[in-house]
Amino acid sequence: MKRPDVGVGVPTVNIQLVRLSVSPKRITPEHIRALLPYQVFCFGSNEGGRHSKGAAKTAVQWGAHRSVPAGRSGQTYAIPTKPIDVRIALTLPEIAVYVEVFIVDAQAEPQTQFLMTAIGCGLAGYCAADIAPMFRASVSMANVCLPLSFWLALGFSVPICSVRTAITVAALPSTMPTPPKSASPSADQTLAPSAETSCLASLCLASATVHKRGGS
């Protein structure tokens, strides 16, 4: 009796890790629970400025005003991915216009660190492969951090050690002044995973979301 081939019909995942292509300092933390004085939380919003769900709701605690649908507000920066009618999403060209404005604003504030979340990849229904190319101009900007899924979509390779660093807290870029000791990250701002498996899981999750449409 012939033995069945082991693994037949079971999908496999190939992960190739190469030399560091993007600094861990440029990867937005997976979870942000606190902001330092020089940091700005960037999130996807709607043109009605309601900020009632997803990352937009989180941004309210750092000064996002519900009357400000786009741009700076407190320690936040809103980029619309939905129109006033939140049942639909803005088109990619429409979102790109808002991203271009963000790039100009970020260039004007080199001492501010902008923590960009995966805008458009939640409630708006797009994926990282759709949105990430809009941020290609920010790759050379030391004060802009992008989520891991965006870096992967832009073709950058990120070793496991970089994932572990990225999901704790984004360090201050070397081109920016060192903040006072009183402004050091709090314990609540880090996840500090203890095993390589958690790092690998984060990398797999980010890789899976690069080309997968979801339901912020």
The CATH number that applies at residue 133 is: 3.40.220.10
Q: Is residue 136 in some structural domain?
A: yes
* Nearest residue to 58 via CA among 82, 34, 90: 34
pLDDT over 60 at 11, yes or no: no
Q: 164: which 2 tokens?
A: 């572990």
48 touches 69 (CB < 8 A): yes
pLDDT over 50 at 81, yes or no: yes
Q: Is residue 138 in some structural domain?
A: yes
- What is the pLDDT of the chain when averaged over all its residues? 77
Q: 105: which 2 tokens?
A: 């604003």
- Hey, what amino acid is at 165? T
pLDDT over 80 at 40, yes or no: yes
Q: Is residue 124 in some structural domain?
A: yes
51 touches 45 (CB < 8 A): yes
Q: Is residue 8 in some structural domain?
A: no
Query: Structural domain of residue 94, as residue ranges?
Result: 24-173+190-210
- In angstroms, the CA 119 to CA 35 distance is 18
Domains in the chain, number: 1
Q: Is residue 198 in some structural domain?
A: yes
In this prediction the pTM is 0.69
DSSP element (H, E) containing 116: strand 113-116
Q: Is residue 196 in some structural domain?
A: yes
- In angstroms, the CA 138 to CA 150 distance is 11
Q: Is residue 49 in some structural domain?
A: yes
pLDDT tens-digit series, residues 108-129: 999 999 999 999 999 899 999 9
pLDDT tens-digit series, residues 149-179: 999 999 998 765 555 444 443 444 444 544 4
* Nearest residue to 177 via CA among 38, 34, 29, 28: 38
C-alpha angle with apex 146: 144 to 147, nearest 5 degrees?
A: 155
Q: Is residue 216 in some structural domain?
A: no
